[in-house]
Copies of this chain bind each other. A is one copy, B any other.
């Protein structure tokens, strides 16, 4: 009767089941804003607390998770930072651009954002706040929407459709169910046209419609395949700053082009 050799659990990755469970657990923990109790974490990951507890024991032993204070709550630990920083250093435009981002900020007077494409969307990896008092509460790891942020639109335009398909659908569904933002109601055709327009222009902008009073312009750093490795975004308050033929946009494009060339020449392997 047990001639079915396939994995009877839903998560068929061809790998190790325990690891699938473990990664689901750390994923949930990462999405929680801060320390969580065992039972809440178990609830989110949809597993009995005792099971979660055993996995957490392994995580703690590896330093991936720590138990905060004596509240017993669990939180991500130092090993998580190290793995993340190692991953960040791999895609080394982060380090390479470290010197350049402040320059760009000073040259434009706008807040500079560096984001990459993660599993949850466009993820902020580094930012340089402008001297001007722009109220942007955007921390490391913030994920930005695909359609309504300049950063997101870069990945919309310069990522293989397969990579963003799921997220795009999710956002489209969300806009439809949100009639208050009727001016944003994109459909499959609109998005296709938007994508083309952005690719032709070489950059993407959003005006104050999405975040009132804030405007942004973004451009991609492209690898040898023409895919966006990261997006550089400038955020400010002056709508005039993001005019297609303005100084800000040209500086941004120049910068991104230089980064793209640097990325493509070194990664010939």
Contact = CB atoms under 8 A, between A and B. Distances in A.
A16 B76 CA distance: 18
Interface in A1-25: 11, 13-16, 18-20, 22-24
Contact of A30 (B54, B59, B75, B87): B87
Contact of A83 (B76, B90, B117, B129): B76
Interface string A75-118: 11111111111111111101100110000000000000000111
B78 A84 contact: no
A14 B84 contact: no
A141 B82 contact: yes
A51 B204 CA distance: 44
Name, among A30, A31, A81, A124, the residue most crowded by chain B CB atoms within 10 Å (CB to CB): A81
Contacts of A127: 98
Interface in A48-83: 54-64, 69, 71, 75-83
A162 interface: no
A15 B81 contact: no
A92 B34 CA distance: 10
A224 to B, nearest CB: 9
Given A18-B18, A23-B64, A118-B79, A31 B141 contact: no
Contacts of A117: 78
- What is the total number of copies of this protein in its complex? 2
A59 B98 contact: no
Interface residues of A, number: 67
18 contacts: A14-B58, A16-B18, A16-B22, A18-B19, A19-B59, A20-B62, A23-B62, A27-B83, A30-B82, A30-B86, A63-B118, A69-B269, A75-B90, A81-B91, A84-B84, A85-B88, A92-B139, A98-B129
Given A19-B19, A19-B22, A30-B83, 18 more contacts: A13-B57, A13-B61, A14-B58, A15-B59, A16-B58, A20-B61, A27-B62, A27-B83, A62-B119, A78-B117, A80-B84, A80-B86, A81-B88, A82-B84, A82-B118, A84-B85, A85-B140, A99-B129
Q: Considering the complex of A and B, which 8 residue pairs feature the smallest CB-CB distances, nearest first?
A: A84-B84, A15-B58, A85-B141, A15-B57, A13-B61, A80-B87, A76-B87, A18-B18
Interface of A: 11, 13-16, 18-20, 22-24, 26-27, 30-31, 34-35, 54-64, 69, 71, 75-92, 94-95, 98-99, 116-120, 123-125, 127, 129, 139-141, 267, 269
